[in-house]
Amino acid sequence: MILGSGSAWDTACVQLANAARHLGLDDGMHDLLRTPRRAITVSVPLQRDDGQLTVLTGYRVQHNLARGPGKGGIRFHPTTDLDEVKALAMWMTWKCALMGIPYGGAKGGIAVEPAMLSLPERERLTRRYAAELVPLIGPEKDIPAPDVGTDEQTMAWIMDTYSAHTGYTTTGVVTGKPLSIGGSAGRAGATSLGVQLSVFAALRETGRDPHAMTIAVQGFGKVGALAAQYLHDAGCTVVAVSDVKGGIYNPQGLNPAALIRHLAGGAETVVGYPGTDTITNDELLELDVDVLVPAALEGVITVENVDRVRAPIIVEGANGPVTAEADQVLDDRGVLVVPDILANGGGVAVSYFEWVQDIQAYFWSEDEVSDRLRALMDRAYREVSLLATTQKISMRNAAHVIGVGRVADAHRTRGLYP
């Protein structure tokens, strides 16, 4: 195992290097797979509601396009930078290959705190950023989707801005759109459903009874909130959840649906929810639970805290929550880590279904979407688990070996590499 410095980009490069070594890839192919195909930085001027002009920085990285158009979310977050977006784009490449969907990997973002912007400011910012991306994106080129700090409305503005440039409505340029303009049934909960299915697959594999399981979920956003709800609805006891302001804990279990309603009713944070103790995000990661689901940001389990992480199973709802060094420690300790590119692959899988439906202009029922998602998740989990068991490698390494191997194969088959 090769170790790195702890940044998302370093972690992604270490994971690639481990897979490349396992696959016996030569240095040229390894370089080709590491290097982003395109990386663009754009300045995004934003006129604030008070008339002031602020210039923000946006990014879009198309990491690899060998298997199809770029695919990946757009993040609005204050610490977003080019290296983070490169890492997230690389993970999208392996994720799409692992899920068996015909895309390359991409990701984008703007370094901004969206909570500080009014709705009209968010719209102006999104449209201006989208206008800068118009030459790069499109249903056959690169298809953005929501990520941290963005949502269905953001996708609607991007779709509209793109369509205004092309001169006709192009629904397939983004996924994760509202249903009324070509979104797919089931996309909003798809990542979370995939996380729940991954948790259950890991429990089955290790002979654990879901009804006896305690679970902690970090992050109560688009992924974390519904993952907590689906796990609760499926019989697990969700004892802790958190957002950026902190976490809440009740050893008897929380009711995620009631908590979601509490937030929809205007509460700004989960902290202070009646009948719960307040804990920090660090404390949540270190709880004595059966399953830990990090579903916020990358790099939260590091060499600094990994020895205090007690869950025997970690299912990565977030991208890159465990650094490469911490991952090695967990592996040595026998912790079962279901890696991000598998565990959260349900989101991009249903994004693929949305794009297919947009292109056909023919839409499926939620049951059809959910059945197809379950089939893709099940196949991907079984492939990773089988390789991990037969080759005696971690689920992380196995997932990367499959994803990286498929992309390398696409390059060889196309003849871009001898």
Ligand X SMILES: O=C(O)CCC(=O)C(=O)O
Ligand Y SMILES: NC(=O)C1=CN([C@@H]2O[C@H](COP(=O)(O)OP(=O)(O)OC[C@H]3O[C@@H](n4cnc5c(N)ncnc54)[C@H](OP(=O)(O)O)[C@@H]3O)[C@@H](O)[C@H]2O)C=CC1
Known catalytic residues are: 107
Beta bridge pairs of residue 59: 41, 109
When asked if residue 145 is in the footprint of ligand X (CB under 6 A), the reply is yes
Q: Is 245 annotated as a binding residue?
A: no
Contacts of ligand Y in 140-169 (CB under 6 A): 146-149
Choose, by CB under 6 A, the member of 10, 147, 243, 290 that binds ligand X. Answer: 147
Contacts of 121 (CB under 8 A, 6+ apart): 46, 48, 49
Contacts of 164 (CB under 8 A, 6+ apart): none
Q: Is the dihedral of CA 389, 333, 208, 293 positive or negative?
A: negative
Contacts of ligand X in 158-187 (CB under 6 A): 175-176
When asked if residue 149 is in the footprint of ligand X (CB under 6 A), the reply is no
When asked if residue 84 is in the footprint of ligand Y (CB under 6 A), the reply is no
Choose, by CB under 6 A, the member of 259, 295, 324, 377 that binds ligand Y. Answer: 295
Per CB under 6 A, the segment of 45-53, 60-68, 237-245, 328-336 that binds ligand Y is: 237-245
Question: Which listed option, ligand X, ligand Y, none, makes contact with residue 71 (CB within 5 to 8 Å by class)?
Answer: ligand X
Q: Is 222 annotated as a binding residue?
A: no
When asked if residue 347 is in the footprint of ligand Y (CB under 6 A), the reply is yes
Question: Which DSSP state fits 221?
Answer: S
Beta carbons of 61 and 89 less than 8 angstroms apart: yes
When asked if residue 347 is in the footprint of ligand X (CB under 6 A), the reply is yes
When asked if residue 178 is in the footprint of ligand Y (CB under 6 A), the reply is no
When asked if residue 297 is in the footprint of ligand Y (CB under 6 A), the reply is yes
Report which secondary-structure segment, H or E, holds 44.
Answer: strand 38-47
Task: Retrieve residue 244's tokens.
Answer: 């950026």
Q: Measured between alpha carbons, how far apart are the two ends of the chain, in Å?
A: 28
Task: Retrieve residue 364's tokens.
Answer: 């499926």
Say how many CA atoms lie within 13 Å of 208 toward its Cβ. 20
When asked if residue 339 is in the footprint of ligand Y (CB under 6 A), the reply is no
Choose, by CB under 6 A, the member of 116, 179, 212, 244 that binds ligand Y. Answer: 244
Residue 362 C-beta: closest distance to ligand X, Å = 20
Residue 316 C-beta: closest distance to ligand Y, Å = 9
When asked if residue 80 is in the footprint of ligand Y (CB under 6 A), the reply is no
Residues 117-127: b if buried by 16+ CB within 10 A, e if exposed: beeebbbbbbb
When asked if residue 298 is in the footprint of ligand X (CB under 6 A), the reply is no
When asked if residue 319 is in the footprint of ligand Y (CB under 6 A), the reply is yes
Contacts of 60 (CB under 8 A, 6+ apart): 38, 39, 40, 42, 74, 85, 106, 107, 108, 133, 136, 137, 142, 144
Q: Is 191 annotated as a binding residue?
A: yes
Task: Retrieve residue 102's tokens.
Answer: 């015909």
Q: Is 71 annotated as a binding residue?
A: yes
Task: Retrieve residue 226's tokens.
Answer: 């519904």
When asked if residue 72 is in the footprint of ligand X (CB under 6 A), the reply is yes
Beta-sheet pairing, 38-47 with 53-64 = antiparallel
Choose, by CB under 6 A, the member of 58, 73, 320, 321 that binds ligand X. Answer: 73
When asked if residue 222 is in the footprint of ligand Y (CB under 6 A), the reply is yes
Per CB under 6 A, the segment of 32-40, 50-58, 248-256, 312-320 that binds ligand Y is: 312-320
- Three-class SS state of 120: helix
Choose, by CB under 6 A, the member of 18, 214, 344, 394 that binds ligand X. Answer: 344
Of 318 and 393, which has the nearer Cβ to ligand Y? 318
Residue of 100, 80, 84, 104 whose CA lies nearest to 92: 104
Phi/psi at 409 (nearest 5 deg)? -65, -40
Q: Which residues are annotated as a binding site for NAD(+)?
A: 191
Residues in contact with ligand X by CB under 6 A are 71-73, 92, 95, 145, 147, 175-176, 319, 344, 347-348, 351
